[in-house]
Amino acid sequence: MSKAILNEISTLLQQGRAPKVVEAVKNALEQGIQPRDILEEGLLAGMNVIGEKFKNNEVFVPEVLIAARAMNRGINELKPHLADGDVEERGTVVIGTVKGDLHDIGKNLVRMMMEGKGLTVIDLGTDVDAERYIAAAREHDADIIACSALLTTTMDEMRRVVEKATEAGIRDKVKIMIGGAPITQQYCDQIGADAYTPDASTAAEVALEFCTGA
Ligand code: B1M
């Protein structure tokens, strides 16, 4: 039964039917299906199919965009259920997708998981240049700058973030976390960022460690 609902969510997402995705997510929650399973086996599974089809030129930007909107709506519905329960204020993160890059689903997931850990997250949105990350980190006295990138052509803005943080004299006060499909630990080491994490949950765990030492 739960497999059928999860498959339905995946299919509706691929069809970009946002209201139906929201309805199916609510339905799955009511049936007692774990929020993480809904995320991974429903929403993310559907987006993976779209990603493969996109790569093979079987679907194009408009279809992907509509699916992405349905994904974000589904994630929003799950948001209260993915949080860790009672959470207290634990630190501040400035997050964004780097300059030239409009992919925001992964970044939104990271934000949500971090909020679930009690971190205050300032979301700068997409297409964020190094200077904006630094200005926001200063303004909000942030503990962490978190950068997401999905394109090989945009990821190098992360190197600029590290450089600009050093130039601004805040490098010893702020940790720089990076992630997104093209990012690797090797790249993280190369540019001198503090942490690469492969997924949103690990990003939230590492952010909490940085902020609280826990
Ligand atoms: Co684009 N796109 N896209 N796209 N798109 C990819 C990324 C691509 C791999 C597709 C492909 O060819 N197979 C490819 C990149 C190739 C490359 O550079 N190597 C690509 C391309 C080429 C493009 C365009 C250039 C296409 C064009 O116009 N010709 C264009 C670029 C626009 C731009 O940004 N300037 C483009 C546009 C778009 C849409 C706008 C249509 C849409 C984005 C909508 C949106 O985000 N609101 C879109 C989408 C949806 C995708 C795919 C299909 C799905 C991405 C996604 O959301 N995945 C993607 C193919 C794919 O990934 N299979 C593709 C789900 C999401 C949860 O995963 O973001 O990876 P992800 O996040 C993961 C981890 O990476 C990690 O946590 C998440 C999981 O827990 N993570 C972090 C992410 N950020 C993190 C930060 C952290 C830690 C972990 O710490 C700070």
- Closest residue by Cα to residue 26 from 65, 79, 63, 69: 79
Spatial separation of the C-alpha atoms in residues 142 and 193, rounded to whole Å: 16
Q: How many whole angstroms from 31 Cα to the centroid of ligand 1? A: 31
Query: For residues 113 and 203, is the Cβ–Cβ distance under 8 A?
Result: yes
The stretch 40-51 carries a mean pLDDT of: 91
Ligand 1 centre from 88 Cα, in Å?
32
CB 65 within 8 A of CB 39: no
2-81 fold? 1.10.1240
**Phi/psi at 121 (nearest 5 deg)?**
-115, 120
Q: What is the pTM of this model?
A: 0.90
Taking the domains of the chain in order of start, what are their residue ranges? 2-81, 92-212
Q: Which residues contact 156 (CB under 8 A, 6 or more apart)?
A: none
Question: Given this chain, do its domains 2-81 and 92-212 carry the same CATH topology?
Answer: no
**pLDDT digits over 144-190, tens only?**
999 999 999 999 999 999 999 999 999 999 999 999 999 999 999 99
Could you report the per-residue pLDDT of 192-201, keeping only the tens digit for each? Answer: 999 999 999 8
Long-range contacts of 21-25 (CB under 8 A, 24+ apart): 21/70, 21/71, 21/73, 21/74, 22/73, 22/74, 22/77, 25/74, 25/77, 25/78
Tokens 């006060």, residue located: 173
Backbone angles phi, psi at 203, to 5 degrees: -60, -45
Helical residues (DSSP H) of 124-199, grouped into ranges: 130-139, 157-167, 185-191
Per residue in 112-155, pLDDT tens?
Answer: 888 878 899 999 999 999 999 999 999 999 999 999 999 999 99
DSSP state letter for 153 = T
Architecture in CATH of 92-212? 3-Layer(aba) Sandwich (3.40)
Report whether 142 contacts 94 (CB < 8 A): yes
Element (H, E) at 204: helix 200-212
Residue 68 has pLDDT above 70, yes or no: yes
Give Cα separations from 153 to 75, 89, 116, 174 (angstroms).
27, 36, 31, 25
Give the per-residue pLDDT at 82: 78
Q: Which residue has the tokens 């949500």?
A: 112
* Range among 69-73, 78-82, 121-125 rated most confident: 121-125
Of 98, 93, 106, 161, which is closest to residue 128 (Cα–Cα)? Answer: 98
Number of helical (H) and strand (E) elements in the chain, helices listed first: 10, 5
Lookup: tokens for 113? 């998981």
Residue owning the nearest CA to atom 73 of ligand 1: 106
What's the 151 CA to ligand 1 centre distance in angstroms? Answer: 7
Q: Which atom of ligand 1 is nearest to the CA of 203?
A: 88
Q: How far is CA 5 from CA 33, 41, 155, in A?
A: 9, 10, 36
Ligand 1 pocket mutation, candidates 103, 184, 188, criterion most atoms within 8 A of CB: 103
